[in-house]
Amino acid sequence: DPRVLEAMRSVPRPLFVPPSSIRLAYGDFPIPIGYGQTISQPYIVALMTEMLQVKPEHKLLEVGTGSGYQAAILSQLAKEVYTIEIIKPLALQAEERLKKLQYLNVQVKVADGYYGWEEHAPFDRIMVTGAATFVPPPLLKQLRPGGKMCIPVGAQYSVQYLTMVEKSEKGAITMKKTLPVMFVPLTRGDGEPWQ
Ligand code: SAH
């Protein structure tokens, strides 16, 4: 998708990795960002973004802000991006970074993204960047009819499948497994994975 490629070209990935990893920023692999978390591999960022078919008028939810990189990419393609991060220092750092780089249509919240962001629901698109063994029901509920969600589904340390969830205009849910991936787990407030 040319719009996705353009967004990937415009967002400066080196500014989203720790200073010691700047040289590696454009390598096609995930990079540690502290607290046991990673900034996702650029190929996967682009692929998930393309799969969501984001339109300029869309309101998006991302679960798992991490570095803020994926949120910055999405902010170039959508009207509004709401992103939730459970690790406070990562959320605050990402928020500051996004503001400094003028990605002003992104809002960051510190919370367990399993529960979504009720005040801003429904969302046209939802992207989850941590793996769970099932699709969180609150996220299904907050997806607008006609909306799409992209989420890695599978157990921790095992194969997860990037899954496309679609909600029809009448509210029927369909899920389609796509490629195998490996994501950090979606965790609960107590640090244990959602499973
Ligand atoms: N999208 C990120 C990569 C995220 S890695 C980027 O572009 O850099 C996954 C992130 O999800 C981690 O930062 C992790 O702390 C966060 N996370 C894990 N469980 C979560 C939950 N329940 N709610 C919100 N964030 C969560």
pLDDT tens for 82-97 read: 999 999 999 999 999 9
Contacts of 105 (CB under 8 A, 6+ apart): 75, 78, 79, 80, 81
Helix axes 42-52, 2-10, angle to 10 degrees: 140
Label residue 4 by pLDDT band (50, 70, 90): very high
Kindly state the helix (H) or strand (E) to which residue 190 belongs, with its residue range: none
Which member of 10, 40, 75, 168 is catalytic?
40
Q: Is 75 a catalytic residue?
A: no
pLDDT tens digits, residue range 39-59?
A: 999 999 999 999 999 999 999
Identify which of 37, 48, 73 to mutate to test ligand 1's pocket (most ligand atoms within 8 A of the CB).
37
Q: How confident is the model at residue 124, as a pLDDT?
A: 98
Q: Whose CA is nearest to atom 12 of ligand 1?
A: 66
What letter would DSSP give residue 185?
A: B
Pocket of ligand 1 (CB under 6 A): 37-40, 63-64, 66-67, 69-70, 84-87, 90, 112-114, 129-130, 184, 186-187
